[in-house]
Amino acid sequence: MTDEERDWDRPDDPAAVREALIEWYEDDHREFPWRRTDDPYAILVSEVMSQQTQLDRVVEAWEAFLERWPTTAALAATDRADVVGFWTDHSLGYNNRAKYLHEAAQQVESEYDGEFPTTPAELQELMGVGPYTANAVASFAFNNGDAVVDTNVKRVLYRAFDVPDDDTVFETAANDLMPADRSRVWNNAIMELGGVACGQTPRCDEAGCPWREWCRAYETGDFTAPDVPTQPSFEGSRRQFRGRVIGTLREYDDLDLDTLGHRIRVDYAPDGEYGREWLEGLLEDLAADGLVELETGPNGETTARLKR
């Protein structure tokens, strides 16, 4: 085992972790038109545009670009100034990206006979295509990529599996988690998780994060991340306490309400503001989410345990 492999909290059951994320993604995700195509050219255009511009705004520009230059051949044959003009008109950020895209289209035409290369290594030979974009195109067009590691993915891995802030370890962990031959759905899913659930301010419960039962941050309430150096503020601290309940129940077979309450907050008082009623509400939510089981004993006392 190398240092990189030892350095993070690899899940005991990676198959369950993978399945949960793919199911969550397939059940519901944001619809972007480039997610409905496997045309490498259209995907490359979307990736280059998305580097600097909010995804919602990219949609219109992407559609207009492809209407004007529907193929690499069409783009390669046009004047570079027209491509740069389009970039400026649509406020797409650095003009260099337009130049590189034009150059890449010419490379595909002249060096690859108009057929896109299919591996991340070859794709990186195209002008302006770095490791991230190469993997994204290889995955989304050809289902042939390595794991994509961007800021969103780093944040998720850091929080969920304690992956240290080190690019080599992030890459090892991301590839280790990715199921074989499923880079298209996997990379889409983990980026979606980082985009809609595990943002700088996480929305673990609201977004129904499928990794709550394994996530270290959810358990400990520490949601810092490489791009979130201080604890993000929430509307309330309910989420942290949910994490503490899960973390505490993991240590015991089951616990009665008051014992659990005292373990998760110092100001717990059975009849106080943060007492049994408050804790029952928290536990009922966790039970509704399938994370906890509640049992009522012969004298009406409630015990809680993790759902296994």
Query: Rounded to whole angstroms, what are the CA distances from 35 to 30, 68, 188, 248?
Result: 9, 20, 9, 40
Site string for ligand SF4, 245-284 (x = CB under 6 A): ----------------------------------------
Q: Can you tell me whether residue 34 is helix, strand or coil?
A: helix
Of 220-239, which residues contact ligand SF4 (CB under 6 A)? 223
Least distance to ligand SF4 from the beta carbon of 198, Å? 3
Least distance to ligand SF4 from the beta carbon of 214, Å? 8
**Secondary structure (DSSP) of 55-116:** HHHHHHHHHHHHHHS-SHHHHHHS-HHHHHHHHHHTT-S-HHHHHHHHHHHHHHHHHSTTPP
Residue placing its CB nearer to ligand SF4 in the complex, 116 or 211: 211
Least distance to ligand SF4 from the beta carbon of 277, Å? 26
Query: By CB under 6 A, which span of 36-44, 60-68, 208-216, 297-305 interacts with ligand SF4?
Result: 208-216
Query: By CB under 6 A, which span of 30-38, 49-57, 211-219, 245-253 interacts with ligand SF4?
Result: 211-219
Q: Closest by alpha carbon to 264, among 289, 287, 288, 238? A: 238
Site string for ligand SF4, 149-188 (x = CB under 6 A): -------x--xx----------------------------
Q: Closest by alpha carbon to 303, among 244, 249, 267? A: 249
Of 72-131, which residues contact ligand SF4 (CB under 6 A)? none
Among 202, 260, 268, 283, binds ligand SF4 (CB under 6 A): 202
Query: Rounded to whole angstroms, what are the CA distances from 80 to 71, 97, 129, 178, 226?
Result: 15, 11, 18, 38, 38
- CA neighbours within 13 Å on the CB side: how many for 21? 29
Distance of CA 83 to the CA centre of its chain: 32
Distance of CA 305 to the CA centre of its chain: 29
Q: Is 212 in the site for ligand SF4 (CB under 6 A)?
A: yes
Residue placing its CB nearer to ligand SF4 in the complex, 42 or 190: 190
Q: Which two tokens stand for residue 113?
A: 């006979």
* 181: amino acid identity, one letter: D
Q: Is 179 left (phi over 0), alpha (psi -120 to 50) or beta?
A: beta
Query: By CB under 6 A, which span of 16-24, 176-184, 197-205, 280-288 interacts with ligand SF4?
Result: 197-205
- How far is Cα 186 from Cα 181, in angstroms, rounded to an integer? 9
Residue placing its CB nearer to ligand SF4 in the complex, 104 or 246: 246
Q: Which residue has the tokens 């503490």?
A: 244
Angle of CA points 162, 135, 13, to nearest 5°: 35
Q: Is 17 in the site for ligand SF4 (CB under 6 A)?
A: no
Least distance to ligand SF4 from the beta carbon of 201, Å? 10
Q: Is 197 in the site for ligand SF4 (CB under 6 A)?
A: yes
Among 83, 136, 174, 204, binds ligand SF4 (CB under 6 A): 204
Query: By CB under 6 A, which span of 18-26, 106-114, 201-209, 280-288 interacts with ligand SF4?
Result: 201-209
Query: By CB under 6 A, which span of 136-144, 167-175, 202-210, 264-272 interacts with ligand SF4?
Result: 202-210
- How far is Cα 183 from Cα 123, in angstroms, rounded to an integer? 16
Residue placing its CB nearer to ligand SF4 in the complex, 283 or 291: 291
Name the site residues for ligand SF4 (rule: CB under 6 A). 156, 159-160, 197-198, 202, 204, 209, 211-212, 215, 217-218, 223
